[in-house]
């Protein structure tokens, strides 16, 4: 099946730093999604990308849909302690089944 | 803001027992999904459901699993005879449709532990 490779697996940063994480795939996706998961919770949608090359922001978060449709990145600017969690990318083709990356665990030191 | 709810939040069961995990999707959504996440691993798709039938399922969703919409609000996942490797978080999700912009919203999950 389709696989998404997400990197880095984990990051430990200082509050106020910017963060960048990315996702690559060997196959094309028509939609890229970024979710955040906190302990004991389900994934919460952060940003959805629908068009190759699209750059979308949601507050301090910015994500881009790669031109080849095989990759996406998520940036978080000026990180704060509540940004802590696991960030997952997910690809969607048919709208029926999401394929998730392995996640990036973000830890922020106050 | 409407949200997907799931019960129970935690379930412990003996190997070989049947379990039913319950979900109440967002009320105007028409598509329903189950995913699972083994501890420390990524979220994996199990099954999607629309118009009272399964529309897609993964290799994980074998004959031990079944889904049902018993009434107008609930969506259930049944595991007939649980195995140790079924221990995981199970997430229900729903979406209004499957067109662009109609993304899936996830519930808080049920943590299943099979002993």
Q: Please tell me the distance from the alpha carbon of residue B100 to that of residue A94, in angstroms, as a whole number.
A: 10
DSSP B41: S
- Touching check for A96 and chain B: CB below 8 Å? yes
Among B1, B34, B43, which would you mutate to test the A interface (most chain A Cβ atoms within 10 Å of its Cβ)?
Answer: B43
Q: Tell me what the mean pLDDT of segment B32-60 comes to.
A: 93
Helix, strand, or coil (residue A80): coil
Peptide bond into B47 cis (omega under 30): no
- Touching check for B75 and chain A: CB below 8 Å? no
- B56 contacts A96? CB cut-off 8 A: yes
Distance from CA of A38 to the nearest CA of B (A): 10
| pLDDT beyond 70 at A1 | no
pLDDT in tens, A44-77: 999 999 999 999 999 999 999 999 999 999 999 9
Distances (CA, A) of A32 to A5, A36, A64, A94, B107: 13, 14, 9, 12, 20
- Touching check for A62 and chain B: CB below 8 Å? no
pLDDT in tens, B55-110: 999 999 999 999 999 887 899 999 999 999 999 999 999 998 877 667 889 999 99
By percentage, how much of chain B surpasses pLDDT 70? 98
Chains A, B: CB contacts within 8 A come to 60
Q: State the number of CA atoms in the 13 A half-sphere of B35 facing the CB.
A: 24
List all residues 6 or more positions away from A100 whose beta carbon is below 8 Å from its beta carbon. Answer: A4, A35, A88, A89, A90, B42, B43, B44
For A87, the closest chain B residue by CA position comes to B42
CA proximity to B91, closest of A82, A88, A65, A72: A88
């Amino acid at each position: 099946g389709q696989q998404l490779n997400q990197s880095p697996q984990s990051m430990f940063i200082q509050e106020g730093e910017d963060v960048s994480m990315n996702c690559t795939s060997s196959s094309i996706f028509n939609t890229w999604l970024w979710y955040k998961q906190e302990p004991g919770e389900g994934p919460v949608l952060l940003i959805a990308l629908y068009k190759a090359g699209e750059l979308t922001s949601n507050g301090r978060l910015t994500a881009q849909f790669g031109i080849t449709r095989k990759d996406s990145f998520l940036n978080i600017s000026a990180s704060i302690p509540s940004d802590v969690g696991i960030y997952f990318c997910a690809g969607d083709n048919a709208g029926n089944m999401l394929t998730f990356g392995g996640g990036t665990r973000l830890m922020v030191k106050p | 803001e409407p949200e997907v709810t799931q019960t129970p939040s935690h379930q412990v069961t003996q190997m070989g027992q049947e379990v039913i995990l319950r979900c109440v999707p967002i009320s105007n959504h028409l598509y329903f999904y189950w995913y699972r996440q083994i501890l420390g691993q990524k979220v994996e798709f199990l099954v999607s459901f629309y118009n009272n039938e399964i529309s897609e399922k993964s290799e994980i969703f074998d004959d031990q699993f079944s889904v049902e919409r018993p009434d107008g609000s609930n969506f259930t996942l049944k595991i007939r005879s649980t195995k140790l490797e079924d221990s995981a978080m199970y997430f229900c999700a729903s979406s209004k449709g499957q067109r662009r912009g109609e993304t899936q919203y996830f519930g808080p999950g049920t943590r299943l532990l099979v002993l």
